[in-house]
Copies of this chain bind each other. A is one copy, B any other.
Amino acid sequence: MMVVKKASEVTKQDVKEEGARGVTVQWLIDSETGAENFAMRKFTLERGGYTPLHAHDWEHEVYVLSGKGIVTIGDNDFTLEEEKVAYVPPNISHQFRNIGNEDFIFLCIIPLKGGK
């Protein structure tokens, strides 16, 4: 079990969910790391990329590392850039979109019931 690692060494997985385009995810901390309560993932949305517009019964806690995007939460759009923080409550439709010219990169923490 690795307790300390470099994010860039964690495998990038394509997000193949319907409605996603140009999205990869790295599971930085999850049950394989020993975590029992919540998982830390790093998302990279390439130029023009977006996550599905969907809702589910778990929350997201998001911290933006770089790039420029928009998150839709319910009926509202919010611009996102470095140092922005977003809380997406459970059961609210949401979508992340890259609106910049570079990769849009953010951390997204979820309870483990929402992941692997």
Contact = CB atoms under 8 A, between A and B. Distances in A.
A13 B111 CA distance: 26
Interface residues of A, number: 35
Interface in A61-102: 61, 63, 65, 71, 73, 76, 78, 80, 83-89
Interface of A: 3-8, 10, 28-29, 33-38, 40, 59, 61, 63, 65, 71, 73, 76, 78, 80, 83-89, 107, 109, 111
A8 B84 CA distance: 9
A40 B63 contact: yes
A66 to B, nearest CB: 11
B6 A109 contact: no
B61 A4 contact: no
